[in-house]
Chains A and B, each alone.
Chain A
Amino acid sequence: MEHTAKRTRVLVVEDEYMIAMDLVSTLEQLGYIPAGPAGSVAEAIAMLEREGVDLALLDETLSSTFRNLVGRDDWR
């Protein structure tokens, strides 16, 4: 777990800044490499296109919008 976590990049997508910051610091403490945070889906997508991530942590309210984009070919 420790070994794996160190190499894992996690994109945080959360519109609430305070929560996003909290998540970022929590991920750091856990040994992940946080990416973002992105305050909107568009921002998140732009980030994804710039730098690849292993995981994305999505705000619940953004998830539906985000999920619509999952089928895109150029994004994996």
Chain B
Amino acid sequence: MADAPPPDFPVVALGGSAGALQSFFDFFGALSREKRRGEMAYVVVLHLSPDHESHLVELLRNRTSLPVAAVESPAVIDCGNVYVLPPDRTLAVVDGALVPRQRAPGSAHRPVDDIVRGLAREFRERTTAIIFSGTGSNGSAALGDVREAGGCVIAQAPQSAEFDEMPRRAIETGFVDMVLEPAQMVPALVRNAHRLQGVEGEGRTADGAGPHRTDNKTDAAEERSEAPQDDPFERILRVLRRRSTIDFRQYKTGTLFRRIDRRVHFLGIDDWDAYAAHLEQFAEEADLLLKDVLITVTSFFRDGKAWHQLTERVLKPLVAGRSEDRPIRIWTAGCATGEEAYSVAIALFELLRETGAAPQVEIFATDVSQNALARARTGRFPAASVEHLPEDLIERWFDESGDHVRIRSEIRDVMIFAPQNLVQDTPFSHADLVICRNLLIYLKPEIQRRLIRLFHFALAEGGALFLGTAESVGETGELFETLDKEARIWRRIGPTRHDLVDFPLIREQERKRSGGRTAGPSAVTPVRQKRLSDLVAAALADRYSPPAVVADSGAVIYYYHGNAGRFLRPQAGEVTHNLMALARDGLAPYLRRALEAASRSGRPESVRTLATLDDGERMLQIEATPIDGIEDRFVISFVEERPAHVPAGGEAPTASSREQELKEEVRLLRAELATTTWSADHNLEEMRAYSEEMTSINEELRAANEELETSKEELQSLNEELRTVNAQLRATVSELRERTADLDNLLRSTDVATLFLDADLAVRWFSPSLAELFRIREEDLGRPVGDLVRSYEDPRLGEECRRVIESLERREEQVETAGGRTFMRRITPYRDANDRIAGVVITFADVTEIQNARRYAERIVETVPMPLLVLDTEYHVVSASPAFYKKFQVDPAQTMNQLVYDLGNGQWNIPELRHLLDDVLPDGEVFHDFEVAHDFRGIGRKTMLLSGHRLDHVQLILLAIEDITERRAFEAHQAILMGELGHRVKNALGVVQGLASQTALRSRSLEEFAEAFSGRLLAYSRAHNLLLAHDWQPGSLREIVEATLQAHAVEPERVAVDGPSVLLSAEQALALALVLHELETNAVKYGAFSNAAGRASVSWAMHDGHVHLRWQESNGAAVEPPKREGFGSTLIRKMVGYQLRGEAKLTLARDGAVCSISFPLIGSEKP
């Protein structure tokens, strides 16, 4: 298989019909074991009904490793491929490609014929046609084309075919090269491939001695005819001559070599020697070779133009100028299977029909092949062979019966088919037309020349000769003139030339071998070199032999010898060749008796009679002798006996009277004889009429028989269709059975409980696992599903099924069993093979686990306090947590199954969310805490953290939404607070540092510093505490006052505190606290509180936005004005002026200090 396939690979057409399937399988089975199977192309043509769905392609695929394909579109034929004809098509072959075409309707569809013919036209000798099992004759009509193209034809051995009609019909055509069983065909095909490629087959001797080497060298081969006896070619020719009496040495050897070579190759025989031996041993092979050699392909009106010319230039004048009593005689020489003979008959009958003339017609059709003649006689032809003829012509002259046509009996009746070897046998004569087409080309030139002369002899004066397109009359210009050069029609000219005719055209030695036949007087002029002796013999015969005529058993005269006219007398009326009509008075009955006797016995027979001739009465011996070697020809000679009496007067009178008496008696007897003869003739006529009648009855019976045969054929073809369909059905059924088993196993192996119901909801089928849900057994098949006891709650089952049948949409629902298991009950419409709804299929899938998992998941979603969305891959909401609904103030109805972007009227169409879902999530499985801020109508701006998780295994997306709006606000607030706190702390520490440093500057001792500083620090921190207690909000003036008094442990009853409610800022409160602390410290040290009796009052009022506070001591110790202003006084003044933006006036009265302080409630300038 390593070598490249040859470009000229063979194309094998496998044609078959009923029963061919198995044969195809056998063939392809054998093929699969053949190494070189890839070097051929195969076209499988199975004749099927168009609406039959064929599984041929699948079936063949199981049997061969070669690619198998139905030709649904034009396909170039390539080797190693199997092309299958689709059942509703036929195939044309165009430029090496198979092109599907619409098939012809009904019986006109003959795919095997069509396709094989197409292949033969395209691939010529590369075509091999194999006719397989089948009924009818499809394929037979194309086999001639294959053979003519040089291709090979194989028929399946009838005994191996389920239906042998197709192969038998093929074999009957005579075009079949080999008859083989399917498996044997493969090696034959391989040998044929070798032959085509000119490759030496395995085991073949390579000496090249075989004559097949000189195939095309015709000239060289011609010489071989003189080869020695042991030459295989000579041996082959001898066998053929013995078998057929045909001497093929007169045939062109080139053609013979090719044909013999084909057989040698088909048989796989090594060389010609072996083949010659094979041939000598097996007569059947000789028959096959003979068929092969004598092959003639003809068809109706082949070369239409030539036929037209023949009709116009020969037949028309012939019909027009012919009276009714003279028959039109036409001789078709080498008629093969008769198409040409029938063609001329049809042409003639057409003319007669048009002109209304009714002359007698005789058409002789002869061929050397008995086989071909047998077929020709039947007048049956494949329908395809007349396809090209006009409809009306077929209608008029053919009876159609199935795939065959038959020539009508009115034409068949004028046909005379006879075996005849042109080269050896006597020709017909007086023909008006001789047709011999495509025969001469096979013969050697000298034989051709002889035959042309023979045709001249056979033709009547002015008769026409019609030859094949490649043939001509040659240089015999004095014999023929051209009538139509194109159409190859010639007209006979000149007189009849017996001298030119050498017949029988066999060699002298042949004649001797065959026992020296005697030639009839009229016919035989031996070969040329004998001519002188013939002349001598003829002269002697003229001189010594009696007058004679040559006639046939019908008494038609063909030849006159000597002075035969003495016994004949032309009658008035039409010219005739009839001996009886020409015979002198009274001779006719004797002539007939002699002729009939000789005709019956085949031996010479004679009668004696007295005849009245011109010169008196004579005793006459009439002898009829069959001519040896020529059928139906008799020499009828007239021998006069010496007169019984001498016409002299020496006789006695008694004798004379006696003579008178005798004469009288003779006259009476003669009269009686004439009557008897007439009566016998009459009887004979009656017998003839009776015979006619019998013939016509026979004809009727034959017609009836034909009709029966037609019916039988029709029945057979019907039967064939049925068988084919049956075979296909059987194959389909077995495949169906396999598939059913597969499905059965599949359904049994799954846990999915399945129930098939018909349209009335009755049980059709159920799977075993259904028992978990229904109490069902095999006996329940056919029961309505409603009658079954269910082991689960499903009150709506029937209703649901009906709804599915109405809506044709599948429905799903979850159902639960008492055992706590959950099933997904799915109802699907059941469509039958024709797509009609024939019920429903219910499946129960156990989804308990899934259900549990889902519930688990749903609970999680419901429980999480965070808004959570579960989306499908298209971002539709599958589920949402309650927190989501609450947070975003939407309800489930507006949320479930919505696109997430559409939620809340598109409020969720957030670019960042789109980005996350569309861009981020597809790249990774998760995203975490993407912060997104968005304004929601109704609930305001929300800051959210989005987290997503792609759950690929369930095709879901989790989207968690954390609302961090409040946290963010709190954090911002806290940041502010922290800043504030830091500021305060720093401020407070600054103040403390200031207090410490300023106190230190004015202190004379550490003890003094410690006391003063701790007092001030305490006052400051108390004010702080107070403010902190109020969250640094503005403080009540009263509370500040009270707090500072407490710090000095002054009894409350010693201090009168009075004033409206005034709120001070934290800064003012702190400053005031320090001021009050200084006043109180002074009072404790030097003033009102330095003794037990002193009192103080603190009062304030609001006026013009200013706080007016007055500190007044009474009953205290006498106050002495200090030598210099103390730090406390300075502090009071500066603090009030600097920090409270007010004024302080301190006076030291007698019984204590008085201090007036005024300051704006709110600083005019915001610090």
Give the interface of A toward B (CB within 8 A). Answer: 15-22, 25-26, 37, 39-42, 60-62
Task: List residues 981-1032 of chain B with CB under 8 A from any CB of chain A.
Answer: 983, 987, 990-991, 993-995, 997-998, 1001
When the two chains form their complex, are residues B1134 and A17 in contact, meaning their CB atoms are under 8 A apart?
yes
- Residue of A with least CB distance to B993: A22
- Residue of B with least CB distance to A18: B994
In the complex, A62 Cα to B991 Cα: how many Å? 16
- The one of A16, A39, A40, A61 in contact with B994, judged by C-beta atoms closer than 8 angstroms, is A16
Across-interface contacts of B1139 in A (CB, < 8 A): 15-17, 39
List the count of A-B residue pairs having beta carbons below 8 Å apart. Answer: 54
In the complex, A18 Cα to B1138 Cα: how many Å? 10
- The one of B995, B1074, B1135, B1165 in contact with A42, judged by C-beta atoms closer than 8 angstroms, is B1165
- The one of A18, A22, A61 in contact with B1167, judged by C-beta atoms closer than 8 angstroms, is A61
When the two chains form their complex, are residues B994 and A22 in contact, meaning their CB atoms are under 8 A apart?
yes
- Residue of B with least CB distance to A39: B1138
Pairs A–B under 8 Å by Cβ, sample size 28? A15-B1139, A16-B990, A16-B991, A16-B994, A16-B1139, A17-B994, A17-B1071, A17-B1135, A17-B1139, A18-B991, A18-B994, A18-B995, A19-B991, A19-B993, A19-B994, A20-B994, A20-B1138, A21-B998, A22-B990, A22-B998, A25-B997, A37-B1138, A39-B1138, A39-B1139, A39-B1167, A40-B1165, A42-B1165, A62-B1167
Across-interface contacts of A21 in B (CB, < 8 A): 994, 997-998, 1134
Task: List residues 447-496 of chain B with CB under 8 A from any CB of chain A.
Answer: none
Name the distance in Å between B1013's Cβ and chain A's nearest Cβ. Answer: 12
Name the distance in Å between A3's Cβ and chain B's nearest Cβ. Answer: 26
- The one of B987, B998, B1141 in contact with A16, judged by C-beta atoms closer than 8 angstroms, is B987
Across-interface contacts of B1165 in A (CB, < 8 A): 40-42
Residue of B990, B994, B1139 contacting most chain A CB atoms (<10 Å): B994
When the two chains form their complex, are residues A17 and B997 in contact, meaning their CB atoms are under 8 A apart?
no
- The one of B983, B995, B997, B1135 in contact with A61, judged by C-beta atoms closer than 8 angstroms, is B983
Across-interface contacts of B1067 in A (CB, < 8 A): 15
The SS class assigned to the B binding surface is helix
Taking A16-B987, A18-B1074, A62-B1167 as given, write out 11 further A-B residue pairs in contact, using a Cβ cutoff of 8 Å, ordered by the A residue number: A15-B1167, A16-B994, A17-B994, A17-B1135, A17-B1138, A18-B990, A18-B995, A18-B998, A19-B991, A25-B998, A25-B1001
In the complex, A19 Cα to B1134 Cα: how many Å? 13
In the complex, A15 Cα to B1071 Cα: how many Å? 11
In the complex, A62 Cα to B1134 Cα: how many Å? 20
In the complex, A62 Cα to B997 Cα: how many Å? 23
Across-interface contacts of A39 in B (CB, < 8 A): 1138-1139, 1141, 1167
Across-interface contacts of B995 in A (CB, < 8 A): 18
In the complex, A15 Cα to B1135 Cα: how many Å? 10
Across-interface contacts of A20 in B (CB, < 8 A): 994, 1138
Residues 1053-1082 of chain B: 1 if any A CB is under 8 Å from the residue's CB, otherwise 0? 000000000000001000100100000000
Tally of B interface residues using CB under 8 Å:
20
Name the distance in Å between A66's Cβ and chain B's nearest Cβ. Answer: 12
When the two chains form their complex, are residues A19 and B990 in contact, meaning their CB atoms are under 8 A apart?
yes
Residue of A15, A16, A37 contacting most chain B CB atoms (<10 Å): A16
Task: List residues 964-993 of chain B with CB under 8 A from any CB of chain A.
Answer: 983, 987, 990-991, 993
In the complex, A67 Cα to B1167 Cα: how many Å? 14
Name the distance in Å between A2's Cβ and chain B's nearest Cβ. Answer: 22
Name the distance in Å between B980's Cβ and chain A's nearest Cβ. Answer: 11
Across-interface contacts of B991 in A (CB, < 8 A): 16, 18-19
Name the distance in Å between A10's Cβ and chain B's nearest Cβ. Answer: 17
Name the distance in Å between A11's Cβ and chain B's nearest Cβ. Answer: 15
Residue of A21, A40, A60 contacting most chain B CB atoms (<10 Å): A21
Name the distance in Å between B188's Cβ and chain A's nearest Cβ. Answer: 115
A17-B1138, A40-B1165 known; A22+B1071 contact, CB < 8 A: no
In the complex, A62 Cα to B1165 Cα: how many Å? 11
Residue of A19, A25, A62 contacting most chain B CB atoms (<10 Å): A19
- Residue of A with least CB distance to B1165: A40
Across-interface contacts of A26 in B (CB, < 8 A): 997
Residues 1118-1160 of chain B: 1 if any A CB is under 8 Å from the residue's CB, otherwise 0? 0000000000000000110011010000000000000000000
Name the distance in Å between A46's Cβ and chain B's nearest Cβ. Answer: 12
- Residue of B with least CB distance to A60: B983
- The one of B987, B997, B1074 in contact with A22, judged by C-beta atoms closer than 8 angstroms, is B997
Name the distance in Å between A44's Cβ and chain B's nearest Cβ. Answer: 11
Name the distance in Å between B40's Cβ and chain A's nearest Cβ. Answer: 104
- Residue of A with least CB distance to B986: A60
In the complex, A37 Cα to B994 Cα: how many Å? 13
Across-interface contacts of B998 in A (CB, < 8 A): 18, 21-22, 25
In the complex, A60 Cα to B1001 Cα: how many Å? 26
- Residue of B with least CB distance to A38: B1138
Residues 171-186 of chain B: 1 if any A CB is under 8 Å from the residue's CB, otherwise 0? 0000000000000000
In the complex, A18 Cα to B993 Cα: how many Å? 8
Name the distance in Å between B283's Cβ and chain A's nearest Cβ. Answer: 136
Across-interface contacts of B1138 in A (CB, < 8 A): 17, 20, 37, 39
Across-interface contacts of B1141 in A (CB, < 8 A): 39
In the complex, A60 Cα to B986 Cα: how many Å? 11
Name the distance in Å between A45's Cβ and chain B's nearest Cβ. Answer: 11
In the complex, A60 Cα to B982 Cα: how many Å? 12
